[in-house]
Amino acid sequence: MRKSVWVAVTLAATLAGCASTGVYESETAKKETFSVDTNSQAAFRRAGEYVRACHTQVSHPYGVSYAWRHSLGEKGAPDEIQLYKVGQPATVLELISAEADGPANAKVTVTVLGEGRWDEAELAAARKSIQSATPTCRGATGG
């Protein structure tokens, strides 16, 4: 019995080491940085609304669902939103960060996995949504 417990623990630790971290280690990741004519907190709220309206609060094919987590930057670090598939929180599919770029502007960086629906069209939809303050999801043909 004891041996099987140790085997299970070792196997779990080994598999955890193989988990992908998505955009953080992907060689195909796509990134775009742009300016937004609002403060960083408003840009961060716009990014959150985009993620909710286009990913977490809508139905996706094959029953796939997405979730997100956010962190407020401290000591000059940017605020971040990480989007992932439910059940796979270690694999970040889309990362959005916002930071101040002057008193009334924000610098936003969107990084996507670069595979499947996480491509240039996703970058364009995120940019348009955050800059316009109106969630604009990618087209139905884009997945």
Is position 106 within any domain?
Answer: yes
pLDDT of amino acid 124:
96
Q: Which residues contact 15 (CB under 8 A, 6 or more apart)?
A: none
How many alpha carbons fall within 13 Å on the CB side of residue 13?
6
Give CA separation, 24 vs 21, 27, 85, 112, 134, in Å. Answer: 6, 9, 15, 10, 28
Domains of the chain: total: 1
pLDDT of amino acid 48:
97
pTM for this entry: 0.82
Q: How many residues does the chain have?
A: 143
Q: Give the structural domain span for 137.
A: 20-142
Q: Are 78 and 95 in contact (CB under 8 A)?
A: no
Is position 7 within any domain?
Answer: no
pLDDT of amino acid 2:
58
110 DSSP β-pair partners: 32, 96
Is position 5 within any domain?
Answer: no
> What gap in Å lies between CA 87 and CA 19, rounded to an integer?
12
Q: What is the mean pLDDT for each group of 10 consecutive residues in the chain (143 residues)?
A: 53 50 88 96 97 94 94 89 96 96 94 93 97 88 45
CATH of the domain at 110: 3.30.530
Is position 11 within any domain?
Answer: no
**DSSP track, 42-73:** HHHHHHHHHHIIIIISS--GGG--EEEEEE--
Is position 65 within any domain?
Answer: yes
Is position 10 within any domain?
Answer: no
Is position 102 within any domain?
Answer: yes
pLDDT of amino acid 83:
97
Is position 90 within any domain?
Answer: yes
What tokens were used for 38? 């609002």
